[in-house]
């Protein structure tokens, strides 16, 4: 059976100076709630056609994307659609749920770690940013990041650099970030639990 979940909102905001600032990798905000069937985005009517048009538009631009929607509304499907229509589609998209891991484990997962960085780290390990090099990294529930991890994510977005846990060596990465959250990030910024500069890096 063909059973869609209604799209509640789909809105894309661009900075008016986008084309002039493209080399600075300005960010777009894509605020959507998607429908799904058997793991794919579906739809035929106007609102979904508009959603597809937004996805196609943002996919062609090599910028970070912020997806907002309640749990179960298909945010990862939107991320996969953006990746599949992008110039990075030949490489596998990498995903992680930022709310499912402790701060220490998430930082090791994202940035990797050096041998001996912590108990049990008997060998060096590359993180998801390195795994997603020249591809797309989907950060689900980005609103759950600790302030420490937010600082490190901001560095990646600004400088294209990561530093593995326990290492002094900086590594360059070329990763497109698609972030998603069910939380209202402007409210978290006002409350002091989400960095304003990171929010603006994700949301122009």
- State residue 27's pLDDT score: 41
Report the share of the chain in percent with pLDDT over 70: 75
Q: Residue 5 domain-assigned?
A: no
Q: Answer yes or no: is 4 within a domain.
A: no
Is residue 3 included in any domain, yes or no? no
Which residue segment(s) compose the domain that 96 sits in?
Answer: 10-202
In a domain? residue 67: yes
Q: Is residue 155 part of a domain?
A: yes
Q: Look at residue 3 and tell me whether its pLDDT is greater than 60.
A: no
pLDDT of 15 > 50? The answer is no
Report residue 80's pLDDT band, with 50, 70 and 90 as the boundaries.
very high
Kindly give, in sequence order, each residue whose CB lies less than 8 Å from that of residue 144, ignoring residues fewer than 6 positions away: 98, 99, 181, 183
Q: Indicate whether 187 belongs to any domain.
A: yes
* pLDDT mean over 59-83: 87
- Mean pLDDT, the chain, as a whole number? 80
What is the CATH classification number for the domain harbouring 116? 3.40.50.300
Mean pLDDT, range 159-166, rounded to an integer: 94
Place of tokens 């650099």: 161
Helix, strand, coil percentages in the chain from 3-state DSSP, rounded to 5? 35, 20, 45
Give how many domains the chain has, as a whole number. Answer: 1
In a domain, 116, yes or no: yes
CB atoms within 10 A of CB 118: 12
Residue 5: the pLDDT is 32
- CA-CA distance, 59 to 65, in Å (whole number)? 9
Measured CA to CA in angstroms, residue 186 lies from 16, 177, 200, 202 at distances of: 21, 19, 10, 12
Q: For residue 137, which phi and psi values (nearest 5 degrees)?
A: -115, 120
- Domain membership of residue 182 (yes or no) is yes
pTM of the model as a whole = 0.77
């Amino acid at each position: 059976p063909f059973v869609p979940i209604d799209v509640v909102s789909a809105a894309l905001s661009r900075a008016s100076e986008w084309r002039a600032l493209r080399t600075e990798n300005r960010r777009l905000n894509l605020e959507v709630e998607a429908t799904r069937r058997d793991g794919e985005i579906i739809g035929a009517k106007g609102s979904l056609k508009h959603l597809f048009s937004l996805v196609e538009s943002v996919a062609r631009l090599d910028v970070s994307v912020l997806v907002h929607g309640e749990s179960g509304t298909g945010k990862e499907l939107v991320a996969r659609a953006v990746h599949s229509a992008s110039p990075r589609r030949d490489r596998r998209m990498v995903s992680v749920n930022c709310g499912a891991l402790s701060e220490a484990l998430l930082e090791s997962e994202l940035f990797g770690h050096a041998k001996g960085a912590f108990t049990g780290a008997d060998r060096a390990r590359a993180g998801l940013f390195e795994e997603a090099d020249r591809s797309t990294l989907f950060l689900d529930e980005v609103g759950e990041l600790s302030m420490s991890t937010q600082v490190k994510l901001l560095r990646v977005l600004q400088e294209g650099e990561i530093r593995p846990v326990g290492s002094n060596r900086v590594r360059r990465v070329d990763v497109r970030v698609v972030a998603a959250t069910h939380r209202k990030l402007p409210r978290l910024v006002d409350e002091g639990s989400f960095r304003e500069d990171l929010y603006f890096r994700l949301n122009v």
